[in-house]
Amino acid sequence: MNFRVASQAKRINLRVLVIVFDLLMVAAAWLAARYIAALLLGPASLGLKQVLLEINLVLMAQGFLQWRAGLYRGVWRFASLPDLGNLLRAALMGAVAGAAVLLVLEAPVELIVIMVWTFPLLLLGLLGLPRLAYRTLKDMRLEVHRRRTSQRTIVLGAGRSGRLLLPELRRRGSYEIVGFLDDNPALKNTEISGVPVLGAIDRLPRIAREAALDLAIIAIPSANNHQMQRVVEICERAEVEFKTLPTLKELGATITRVDDLKPVAIDDLLGREPVSLDWEAIRAGLTGKRVLVTGGGGSIGAELCRQIARLDPSCLVVLDNSEYNLYRVDYRLRGDFRDLVMETVLGDVCDSATVENVIDRVKPHVIFHAAAYKHLPMLQNQIREAFRNNILGTRRVADAASRHGVETFVLISTDKAVNPSNIMGATKRVAELYCQQLNRQSETSFITVRFGNVLNSTGSVVPLFNEQIRRGGPITVTHPEISRYFMTIAEAGQLILQAGVLGQGGEVFVLDMGEPVRISYLAEQLIRLAGKEPGRDIEIIYTGLRPGEKLFEELFHEHENYTKTAHEKILQASNSAGEMAWIGDRLRDGEAAVRCYDTAALRELLMTLVPEMGRTSRTPRRPTADVSHLG
């Protein structure tokens, strides 16, 4: 209340000052007009007592008329055309008032004529010019403040998204649009809604210096990963903050908005091009079906559950041995899919009773087996747990699926199962071999899906590097030349679904992963995306290859052929294992060794089942030229 009273008193005081100032200007205008008249009519017309009387009378009349003209309703800071109209009315009424005063005082006609012309003109100038000067100065100060608080922004990409973004940027007021940059030469030296196209994107470093840019907005949602890497590299050279719009797939049918802007993430640089899926075939294969996902609380399993839920299965059952992960996936699925019939089961795939109970009770049409240990360095010294979970757990679920007539069993494998040099890869390779052998003697279709590293999955290198960056470094990389294939979590889930409907049984499907990415490059990009400089702000330290770690990963075995499939980005590896009817006996030996905790016997057994273990190829084996365009 006190604040309101003080504010009102301040406004009244300012208005009184304005009135006093205007009355002084009225007196000054009258004196100047009388002086001009004296120059024209002679000094005798300028009597001091007469002039003082005229001024008093004019001040009373003019003050009243200016109030009635609305001259004090506005604020000088916002003086505009209506205020100019009020000033004109005040000046004209001033001419009338002055003439009336002179007539009352019986002044000569010649003096009245001169005063009627000169007084209103002088009054208009003395009242209007201070107001104009005040507003101009205030506008200049506001513009300087606005320039200091708004970001000088350039938009990279003058296509549809950039054009749609422009009015939103202007409306926000916190962006000062300097121009567009676009690689289309036809747009150079043109304008879009008054904003110039300044040239190609590679001019950004120069323009950033010349125009003192604060922000670059990458408005190219259709850019592929190589194009995005190039644009981000240019932004980094320009040493300017940059943000991007989501991809076309992420934007969907929504309108381009400022709120969509996001920092460039590592997925934008390393995630592969969006996979175009045959959703009709996937929907036909899963809609109305009972589906079981083992390991459904993990990164891949949870994404798989989310995508399956969209396809309206008759029932989705999620099995996981982590209470927290199971709670989290249950909470999210029930929140996002309220009509979904779902059951979550806390249990271990290595527990025969749990597996038998769930499959017998649910009778799933499709099983996606994602339950596995995957942390390579840890499993290198945990051979018993790796064998028990990855091999015996897979065997239990696969055997139960075959025994209860499950239509399709999809094993989720890894590129580390190809020529494995470590325990984790070897156990996944044995799981592949067992499912391929079981497919030969079962009515269930056993399908294997093999892919590389998944960005931002739990235990992957990206969260580790981000944590090291948050701590101020250093980032630890095992070798300068180490490289890996990468894909996004969403793409991994989609590939698994697509492979599930492509396969007839016995196939190993492999995503054509494109080019492998050096881990050192990944580390450098994560540092830069965090706003820091590699080597200056965050060090990268090379620690040497860990036991069982390879410089590169492979997608196919040395004697494994591959062919195209109905999907342009999914390849099919031929079964190179041949008949392995004896594998069941070896796994029974392995089960006995697990019970006895005989790690030496388990290691020897792995070497028997996977003789290529530890024999890495000299160069990575990738698809030949005839299918390289699939990447």
631: which 2 tokens? 């990447």
62: which 2 tokens? 């003019």
Give the residues across from 197 on adjacent strands.
180
- What is the C-alpha to C-alpha distance for residues 425 and 128, in angstroms, rounded to an integer? 85
- What is the C-alpha to C-alpha distance for residues 355 and 328, in angstroms, rounded to an integer? 22
Contacts by 543-548, CB closer than 8 A, 24 or more apart: 543/476, 543/477, 543/478, 544/478, 544/479, 545/478, 545/479, 545/482, 546/376, 546/377, 546/380, 546/478, 547/377, 547/380, 547/422, 548/376, 548/377, 548/380, 548/421, 548/422, 548/423, 548/424, 548/425
- Residue 462, Cα to own-chain centre: how many angstroms? 16
User: Annotated catalytic residue: which of 10, 49, 249, 416?
Assistant: 416
Other beta carbons less than 10 A from residue 140's beta carbon: 10
Answer yes or no: 416 catalytic.
yes
Backbone angles phi, psi at 172, to 5 degrees: -65, -35
Backbone angles phi, psi at 322, to 5 degrees: -100, 115
Backbone angles phi, psi at 419, to 5 degrees: 45, 55
610 neighbors 587 (Cβ within 8 angstroms): no
- What is the C-alpha to C-alpha distance for residues 214 and 150, in angstroms, rounded to an integer? 9
Handedness of CA 385, 414, 518, 269 (dihedral sign): negative
Active site residues: 416
